Each structure stands twice: as C-alpha cells, then as structure tokens.
Chain A
Amino acid sequence: MIFPDIIELLLLGVYDRGIPNQERIVLKVQERLNTAQYGVLLSISDLNSTAARPIWDNCFNFTEHIVDPGMILFIYTGPGSERRTTIAGTQIPAHVFHWGKKLTVFASTLITPIIFKVESIIVAPVPINRTQLNE
C-alpha cells in the first residue's frame, strides 16, 4: 500500500549501523508536533528506496513531547535514558530517545526504519466484569 509522506519530520538517516550503543536513527523536526503521534517500525527494504516490508513485532513509540521546528531527534537502538540536550558544538536543541534493544539492529543495510504517524485508534475497554489475571 502506498501512503503519503510525513512532511513534519525529516529522516536524516541511520548512523553508526551495527556499532553498539551508537547506532541511531536521526530525525529533524520540520513543524511543531507532539512526538506521541509518531513511531518507528523496523523493516526490510523492498522494491526500491521508498518501499519496505515492516518486520512484525519491531515497533518503537515515542514518549509524549511537544517539539519545535529545527530540533533533532535521536533514537538510539540500545538501552539508555531519555534526555533533552544539544547537538555537539552547537546550540541546536536535540532530544535523545532509546529503543532498548540488547542487540544492534541495523548492521544489515537491508534493514531500514519506517517512520509512521498514528492518525486514528481504537482503545479496547477494560473488561471489568471478568476475572483479571493479577487477581
């Protein structure tokens, strides 16, 4: 299926592929947005550079932050803590996220990230009239 581009985020690329604790996806914010609406899927490149097959059960969701144009978002694939910082040698604001994967994931250049945007959702109601597992 073909989807429209996300114009409010610019994918600058995947850097230091296969290098533990440095492997990261870098995005640039083009418009003021709430990061909770976006996420990243791991996928395998297919057909051409703008098409890919998402890999099941490999999804990263951003935590909620309002970010302004010009900010750089870093998604490190390894574990770590979230932090607001700046780009080295500049005053450009940046926000660092961590996926928490124990192993590097982009060693193969066939594996590529898909940035997605959540447009609508359904949240299942809590089945209050049934026995819960933790009871």
Chain B
Amino acid sequence: MDEHVPIESASDGTQVKEETINPEIVRVDQRGSVIATAPIEDVIKEWSLENPRALGGGLAARILAAATQHVHNQLRDMSCRIDNANLTIDRLKTESAVKDVTIAVQKEQIVSLSRGKYSRLAMASFSTVLFGFAIDFFRNNMIGYGLSFIVMAVVLGIGTVLSAPRRDAK
C-alpha cells in the first residue's frame, strides 16, 4: 500500500517541469515575513527567558512558563495513557471475539451431545436386551441364534462406547 498515491490523480497532464527556479518566486523582495510554528510551551519558555517583562516580570514569567510546561507534561501523559488504554481496548476486543467463537462452538457441541445422549442410552438398552435373548437361546441349545444375537449385542455395545464423547474433545 502506498498512502501517497490516489487511484486516480485527475491531472490533465499539461504541467511542464520548471527547469530553473522561477526568479519570480525566489526574489528576495517578494518574500514575506518569517512565520513559524512551535508548541506553545516552547514559545512561552522562550519569551520568559528573552522578554520576561512581556509576561509580567521575571517571577511571573517563570511561574507561567513552569505552569504551562506542567500542563503540557500532564496532557502528554494523559495522551499516552489514552493511547495505551485504546490499545488495551483493541486487544480485549480481539480476545473477546475469539472467546465468542469458542463459546459458540462449545454451545453447538453441547446441543449435539445432549441429542446423542438419548440415542446412546437406547443403543445400550437394546444391546442388553439382545444379550439377554442370546443367553436364553444358548440355554435352549439354539447356538446359531445365540451367537448371532451375541455378535449384534457386542457390535451395539462397541458402537455405544465409541459414540460416547471423549473428555479431551474441544
């Protein structure tokens, strides 16, 4: 990303390069007064040193300069705190979003587990019933039926165990 180029400049392309510095621009007699920008605390400090009378005398000028500097420092401190607080808020927002996703996933897991609970109970009951029938078949010398019922009971039992939720599942 280049922050300094728009998608379309909308220039009409007629500008030409100035080969030499335009004398009209640099003529000394066409220059205005010097103007500058500076933080207010620096200006007051400078005035208090160079021209304290303008600020009510030496003592008053020093007090004013110190007070301005103090307020400036406090403002800078508060600004830093606000920046830090904003960073913390951003971090917490991100963490909160991650937690929301985790909670949604876990809610869905809980719903699916509660649905599976009844089917597992039914499978276990049916497996027990089949096992009971198998024992009766063995008692009546119906070995073939008994074995097939035993196999079905075991398969159902294993299926019930395997479909049970694991403790380490996230």
Contact = CB atoms under 8 A, between A and B. Distances in A.
Interface residues of B, number: 34
A48 B36 CA distance: 9
A30 B33 CA distance: 29
What is the predominant secondary structure among interface residues of chain A facing chain B? strand
Interface of B is mostly: loop
A22 interface: yes
A101 B15 contact: yes
A19 B39 CA distance: 33
A55 B5 CA distance: 27
Interface string B78-118: 00000000000000000000000000000000000000000
A4 to B, nearest CB: 6
A114 B6 contact: no
Interface in B1-22: 1-18, 21-22
Interface residues of A, number: 62
B17 A20 contact: yes
B115 to A, nearest CB: 44
Given A2-B36, A54-B35, A114-B35, A87 B6 contact: yes
11 contacts: A2-B38, A3-B36, A20-B16, A43-B32, A54-B31, A55-B26, A88-B1, A96-B8, A103-B17, A103-B18, A107-B18
